[in-house]
Amino acid sequence: MKSLWDKVWSFFSSIKLAIVIFALIALTSIVGTVIEQQAPYETNMKVLSKLVGTGLAPSVYKGLDALGFMNMYRSWWFMTLLVLFALNLLVCSIDRFPAIWRIMRTPVKPISPDQMKKMPIKDELSLPDNLNAVLENAISAMKSAGFAAKQETGPDGAVQLYAQKNAWSRSGVYVTHVSIIVILLGAMLGVLFGFKGFINLPEGYSTNVVYSTNMDMSDTSQDPQRASLMGAVDSAGGDFQKAAHLVGKSLVDFKKSLISIGVIPLDFQVYCDQFQVQYYGQSDMPKAYRSLLTVVENGKPVVSKWIEVNHPLKYKGVMFYQASYGLSDDLSNGRAVLAIRPVGGQTETKRLRIGDSFPMPGTNETVKLAEFNPALAFDDQGKPETYSKMMTNPAVRVEISGNGGAPVSKWIVQRYPETWSLPDGSSIGLTDFWGVQYTGLQVRKDPGVWVVYLGCILLALGLYIAFFISHKKIWIRVQPDKKGILLNVAATCPKNRHAYERDIEKLVKHLKGGN
């Protein structure tokens, strides 16, 4: 009678379970790639309408939603599958480990001539030589092939040399399996103790919250709660303590309810000083973009760093990645950064709003910033237009007056310095239009990522051992007979047999040629 424990154990150590889990993970994942995850309701309704027709789509949607397929990689049953998978792997490895351990620890032993004949790799040759010379030769041949030979003389006077190498490589499979468990553990640490969020931060603004990317966008029921909590944060000027007080909660509870609506509070403020894009030549294809971020803690700036794609900022375990950027809807906060160079004078920098004016040094002219265009282009009639939703070609129009007559109007374009010069030899350069772009940041905290990386290293190592290193054994039997010496070679290895066969051939050749 098997005990319950035995039953559970054999259930989890079965390769059949592994196959079922593999199949379940694969099949459900396929569904997850067809249905867009965490997408708004309409997106997936569109997909489903295409697949099953508009009539069925709503009920299919409901069904799939009830089963958690709209956010399936975080659903309880998918997590369960992953846990089962890990358990299966663990139990399976533990179950087989003793046997493998024995194989790894068992020294090779001499084998009988019959056994030698049954080995997958074998050879036989006779040499007209004396026993000792052949033995010496064979030992050195084995040594150069990486085997430390042991020797035993049988009752019939035959001497057997035998050795093995890389017995430890049997552990490669287990390293592989353990690495997968390690990776899953690391991922779990990240889910439990970390977060993934994003924030669009305009130049000149700061934040101490980010928005979770794990929120299910199809669920809008939490909107009222969200409005009240965020309203409290706003009226408290970003101070969580005060905000908690406003809604009558403790700070801890307040932070918890923020997290529950997908708003993640940070322990510090992040300020976006500046955002810049660099383009390939005259094209609008970005070559690089970067933001200057400053972390402010307890009112004091602590770190400042330019971040760009593939070069994040890390502070207190929270990583800030440059992910995207865009143009704010409200352009009224913008300031033109001008480099003004009068004739024969020094360049001077000025920051001005649209509508401001300034006297051009050394002249009696007045320059007024009349207009800003984030993506200036001219249509067929030569009228200015805005050709893109991004700040791809920022330009300001200035009106210069003071020389009598009507004011002269001129576009100054940041990316085209030839537009900067004025007829009298002075120039007004536009070096930036600050305060209208936002930087899109991915924000992550993941204490498990190093565990995952460790797991990846183990995985690579384990696979390398499992596939490219093999446990090799060799036996050479040397028996004096009438004509001289009869030599039998036998060898086994579980992997890459052909390569090993060639090694053995070489060794045999060496034995033949060595006399």
* Among 64, 467, 469, 514, contact with other proteins (rule: CB under 8 A): 467
Binding flag, residue 88, ligand HEM (CB under 6 A): yes
Residue 158: which of other proteins, ligand HEM, none does it interact with, CB under 5 to 8 A by kind? none
* Among 449, 454, 469, 486, contact with other proteins (rule: CB under 8 A): 449
Residue 177: which of ligand HEM, other proteins, none does it interact with, CB under 5 to 8 A by kind? ligand HEM
* Among 189, 442, 469, 501, contact with other proteins (rule: CB under 8 A): 442
Residue 312: which of other proteins, ligand HEM, none does it interact with, CB under 5 to 8 A by kind? other proteins
Binding flag, residue 262, other proteins (CB under 8 A): no
Q: Give the span between the Cα atoms of 299 and 391, in whole angstroms.
A: 32
| φ, ψ (nearest 5 deg) of residue 246 | -60, -40
* Token reading at 419: 């537009």
The residues in 157-176 that bind ligand HEM, with binding defined as CB under 6 A, are 173, 176
The residues in 439-498 that bind ligand HEM, with binding defined as CB under 6 A, are 463, 466
By Cβ distance, which residue is nearest to ligand HEM?
Answer: 92
Between residues 139 and 180, which has the closer beta carbon with respect to ligand HEM? 180
Closest separation in Å from C-beta 74 to other proteins: 9
Please spell the DSSP secondary structure of 42-81, one letter per residue. HHHHHHHHHHH-TTTHHHHHHHHHHTTGGGGGGSHHHHHH
Closest separation in Å from C-beta 393 to other proteins: 18
* Token reading at 435: 């305060």
Residue 474 exposure: Cα atoms within 13 Å on the Cβ side: 28
Binding flag, residue 288, other proteins (CB under 8 A): yes
Helix ranges (H only) for 153-210 are: 172-193
Closest separation in Å from C-beta 314 to other proteins: 10
Question: Of 52-60, 104-112, 355-363, 465-473, which part binds other proteins (CB under 8 A)?
Answer: 465-473
Binding flag, residue 25, other proteins (CB under 8 A): yes
60: left (phi over 0), alpha (psi -120 to 50) or beta: alpha
* Among 110, 202, 262, 312, contact with other proteins (rule: CB under 8 A): 312
Residue 69 DSSP SS3? helix
Residue 19: which of ligand HEM, other proteins, none does it interact with, CB under 5 to 8 A by kind? other proteins
Q: Give the span between the Cα atoms of 194 and 452, in whole angstroms.
A: 14
Q: Which residue has the tokens 């800030």?
A: 320
Nearest to 436 by CA among 274, 308, 283: 274
Residue 246: which of other proteins, ligand HEM, none does it interact with, CB under 5 to 8 A by kind? none
All residues at 6 or more sequence positions from 454 whose CB lies less than 8 Å from its CB, including other chains: 182, 186
Q: Give the span between the Cα atoms of 157 and 356, in whole angstroms.
A: 109
Q: Give the span between the Cα atoms of 312 and 309, in whole angstroms.
A: 7
> Do 497 and 120 contact (CB within 8 A), yes or no?
yes
Binding flag, residue 15, ligand HEM (CB under 6 A): yes
Binding flag, residue 187, ligand HEM (CB under 6 A): no
Binding flag, residue 211, other proteins (CB under 8 A): no
The residues in 1-20 that bind other proteins, with binding defined as CB under 8 A, are 15, 18-19
* Among 20, 24, 87, 100, contact with ligand HEM (rule: CB under 6 A): 100
Residue 88: which of other proteins, ligand HEM, none does it interact with, CB under 5 to 8 A by kind? ligand HEM
Between residues 18 and 215, which has the closer beta carbon with respect to other proteins? 18
Q: Interhelix angle for 449-468 vs 172-193, to 10°?
A: 170
Q: Give the span between the Cα atoms of 499 and 496, in whole angstroms.
A: 6
Binding flag, residue 196, other proteins (CB under 8 A): yes
Q: Give the span between the Cα atoms of 383 and 174, in whole angstroms.
A: 71
Q: How many residues bind ligand HEM (CB under 6 A)?
A: 13
Evaluate the CA torsion angle 500, 505, 511, 515 in order and state its sign.
Answer: negative
Between residues 338 and 466, which has the closer beta carbon with respect to ligand HEM? 466
Binding flag, residue 412, ligand HEM (CB under 6 A): no
Q: Give the span between the Cα atoms of 34 and 70, in whole angstroms.
A: 10
Between residues 75 and 357, which has the closer beta carbon with respect to other proteins? 75
Q: Give the span between the Cα atoms of 13 and 370, in whole angstroms.
A: 76
Residues in the chain: 515
Residue 196: which of other proteins, ligand HEM, none does it interact with, CB under 5 to 8 A by kind? other proteins
- Which DSSP symbol is given to 92? H
Helix (H) or strand (E) holding 267: strand 263-279
The residues that touch other proteins, with contacts defined as CB under 8 A, are 15, 18-19, 22, 25-26, 29-30, 32-34, 36-37, 73, 187, 196, 280, 285-289, 308-310, 312, 319, 321-323, 442-444, 449, 452-453, 456, 459-460, 463-464, 466-468
